């Protein structure tokens, strides 16, 4: 599936991860100007090179800790200063961890998943939404998870953090639609990534979601074809 984003400006969080790298590559191929972010600058640059990309006038790399709200505000301000606007925000950054049970989940793990999955998304949305409202246009696409729909054994902290992303998406959509800003999210199942293959070596990946297939959904939500969608949580479960 092809999309034309010529001249539009996109911010991608979590661009050093597998999904973020594929999304960044597709955005550049679609003609967008892209600000790609990652917490570790060296890892981010390596990931972009692995994806066949190099920083340029149309692709800039930014090392930022998304839990640092002031740093995220500064990043969005820099993107707007450089390009004059911000058309799309893709919140891809996040992480997964599990524990044996709720009582066996330490406070540190609750805090880490809350920061990586919810607060990172919150800070990026909070910085980008006012810019888009002033423009009278923009899209935000958040990456939630299938676990946002129901809790499961051992994944309470992860599920809670991703459910919060879904609720945040709905509130942002209700606030943004009268300003021309659309906010939606995807709820993917297991992604076909090297990390998941390594973590689950005995699993059968036949039904896992190809990264390009999920990116098709992300780009659709940012496109005019999804102009009627506000606050949607799109299940992307693959065939598994």
Active-site residues, by number, are 158
Burial (Cβ within 10 Å: 0-12, 13-18, ≥19) of residue 65: middle
Of 236, 122, 131, 228, whose CA–CA distance to 187 is shortest?
236
- φ, ψ of residue 126 to 5 degrees: the values are -65, -30
49 with 24: CB under 8 angstroms? no
Encoded tokens for 193: 């990534």
Encoded tokens for 107: 């406070």
CA distance 151 to 161: 11
Distances (CA, A) of 83 to 8, 62, 160: 9, 15, 36
């Amino acid at each position: 599936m092809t999309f034309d984003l010529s001249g539009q400006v996109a911010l991608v969080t979590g661009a050093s991860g597998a999904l973020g790298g594929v999304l960044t590559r597709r955005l550049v191929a679609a003609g967008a100007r892209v600000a790609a972010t990652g917490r570790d600058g060296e890892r981010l640059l390596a990931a972009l090179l692995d994806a066949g990309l190099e920083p340029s006038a149309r692709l800039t790399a930014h090392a930022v800790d998304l839990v640092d709200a002031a740093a995220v505000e500064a990043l969005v301000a820099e993107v707007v200063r450089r390009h004059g606007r911000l058309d799309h925000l893709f919140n891809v950054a996040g992480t997964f961890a599990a524990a044996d049970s709720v009582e066996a989940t330490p406070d540190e793990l609750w805090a880490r998943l809350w920061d990586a999955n919810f607060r990172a998304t919150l800070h990026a949305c909070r910085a980008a939404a006012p810019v888009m409202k002033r423009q009278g246009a923009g899209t935000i696409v958040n990456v939630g998870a299938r676990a946002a729909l129901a809790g499961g054994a051992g994944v309470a902290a992860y599920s809670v953090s991703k459910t919060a992303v879904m609720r945040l998406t709905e509130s942002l959509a209700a606030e943004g639609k009268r300003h021309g800003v659309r906010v939606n999210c995807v709820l993917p199942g297991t992604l076909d990534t090297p990390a998941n293959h390594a973590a689950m070596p005995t699993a059968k990946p036949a039904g896992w979601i190809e990264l390009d297939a999920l990116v098709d959904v992300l780009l659709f939500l940012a496109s005019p074809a999804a102009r009627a969608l506000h606050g949607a949580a799109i299940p992307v479960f693959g065939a598994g």
